[in-house]
Amino acid sequence: MKLTADWLSAPGTQAVLDAIETGGHRAWFVGGCVRNGLLGLDVSDIDITTDARPDRVVELAEAAGIKAVPTGLDHGTVTLVAAHTPYEVTTLRRDVSTDGRRATVAFTERLEEDAHRRDFTMNALYATRDGTVIDPTGAGRADLRAGRLRFIGDAHDRIAEDYLRILRFFRFHAWYADPMGGLDPAGLAACADMASGINGLSKERIGAEMTKLLAARDPAPAVAAMAQSGVLSQTLPGADARLLPVLVEVEGGLTPDPIRRLAVLGGDDVAGHLRLSRADAARLGCLRQGMGGVTPAGELGYRNGLTTARDILLLRAAMLETPVSAADIDAARIGAEAVFPVRAADLMPDHKGPQLGRELARLEALWIASGFAMSKEALLS
């Protein structure tokens, strides 16, 4: 099996490999770039592993005029920036000890040792600079072809090394596994057995994984399995996965939106459990409030903008298990484009202070009720 991709021959890629190999060392592509490349999917990050030690990587890069950023020297990682592209270069390594959140590693020169410390077989594929694929576990290529997600070796052992792998199991299944094939029974059982380990992870790491999971085209089967195995309640207490597949169906061809999907899952203090940004937390709160309200579609568009109004309408449709109304979407669009024609100055000096605010609100309500049709003159009269 050979990998073919434009990024393999990109000037930056070749410069990084030349720098390492000129120093007498070997380098391989690894992980997501190989997996996605073989699947014909976009590659956003190019990871490289090498038998050169981190300080040697820095030395060789600087000698070649490549910027080196020591992003994780303790774990063997240096980020090289060539042709304005970052390349994460990590020395081959093996785990010495781990506490379920972070590992103490030792460097190695054996590709097999490096592969067996990774999470899933499809993520332990390597490629040489000419695209020749290397499969040290002996199962990665077959699993990738079959859309089968499996832990490397014993699933309990892999999870004990990093409990985030529980969430990654569901996330990678949503993105890369055959949706008709079901989750690997051994992996699912291990996730269920060790779900309490999620409590020891940082909220930022949990939030990042959940966001990536919910950005998949159809995360509903994976999230349903999370619920059945007890993982969802550990991750998002109070969340309910039953309406997620309905929302995915109602969304149609819309771009997947993790915040919209979080809104339909619900739960207790979702923003806090996932450490959402202020903007995402505010939007989630708006969607949750709107989906449970009765504000008409036009007013939703006027007060929230078309995107948020549309999302609220989608969530309401999912709750009712009906398609979203095209008429409601049109009304929301009209409301989003409408501009209230009356300003405070138009009511002064006849109205002042709190009375001025009340009169503006009264006229705005009349204008909205008219379908945004009343003119300024009609309102002021």
User: Mapped to the 3 state alphabet, what secondary structure does 114-180 carry?
Assistant: HHCCCCEHHHCCEECCCCEEECCCCCHHHHHHHCCCCECCCHHHHHHHECHHHHHHHHHHHHHCCCC
pLDDT, average across residues 248-276 = 96
- In this structure, are residues 200 and 152 in contact, taking their beta carbons and an 8 Å threshold? no
Place 85 in a pLDDT band, splitting at 50, 70 and 90: very high
| Whole-number Cα distances in Å, 293 to 21, 255, 329 | 63, 24, 16
The pLDDT of residue 2 is: 87
- In this structure, are residues 159 and 184 in contact, taking their beta carbons and an 8 Å threshold? no
pTM over 0.85: yes
Furthest-apart CA pair in the chain: how many Å?
A: 86
Which is more confidently placed, 225 or 105? 225
Mean pLDDT, the chain, rounded, equals 93
Domain 1-146: CATH superfamily is: Beta Polymerase, domain 2 (3.30.460.10)
**Residue 96, SS3?**
strand
Question: What letter would DSSP give residue 65?
Answer: T
Taking the C-alpha atoms of residue 91 and residue 114, their distance in angstroms, rounded to an integer, is 9
Digit-coded pLDDT (tens) for 34-71: 999 999 999 989 999 999 999 999 999 999 999 999 88
- In this structure, are residues 10 and 83 in contact, taking their beta carbons and an 8 Å threshold? yes
Domain 153-235: CATH superfamily is: cca-adding enzyme, domain 2 (1.10.3090.10)
| Whole-number Cα distances in Å, 57 to 10, 127, 338 | 20, 19, 59
The pLDDT of residue 321 is: 94
Element (H, E) at 105: strand 103-107
pLDDT, average across residues 275-301 = 96
Taking the C-alpha atoms of residue 286 and residue 309, their distance in angstroms, rounded to an integer, is 10
| Whole-number Cα distances in Å, 205 to 151, 162, 342 | 20, 11, 48
Digit-coded pLDDT (tens) for 102-136: 666 788 889 999 999 899 999 999 999 999 999 99
Query: Domain extents for the chain?
Result: 1-146, 153-235, 238-338, 341-380
Judged against a pLDDT cut of 70, whether residue 100 lies above it is answered with no
Digit-coded pLDDT (tens) for 307-361: 999 999 999 999 999 999 999 999 999 999 999 999 998 888 888 889 999 999 9
pLDDT, average across residues 283-294 = 95
pLDDT, average across residues 349-378 = 92
The pLDDT of residue 75 is: 80
- In this structure, are residues 302 and 338 in contact, taking their beta carbons and an 8 Å threshold? yes
Judged against a pLDDT cut of 90, whether residue 255 lies above it is answered with yes
Q: What angle do CA 224, 229, 230 make, to 5 degrees?
A: 100
pLDDT, average across residues 199-220 = 96
The pLDDT of residue 96 is: 64
Taking the C-alpha atoms of residue 113 and residue 106, their distance in angstroms, rounded to an integer, is 10
- In this structure, are residues 98 and 162 in contact, taking their beta carbons and an 8 Å threshold? yes
The pLDDT of residue 102 is: 63
Judged against a pLDDT cut of 60, whether residue 185 lies above it is answered with yes
Judged against a pLDDT cut of 70, whether residue 99 lies above it is answered with no
Place of tokens 């000419």: 130
- In this structure, are residues 368 and 301 in contact, taking their beta carbons and an 8 Å threshold? no
Taking the C-alpha atoms of residue 122 and residue 132, their distance in angstroms, rounded to an integer, is 16
Place 97 in a pLDDT band, splitting at 50, 70 and 90: low
- In this structure, are residues 275 and 284 in contact, taking their beta carbons and an 8 Å threshold? no
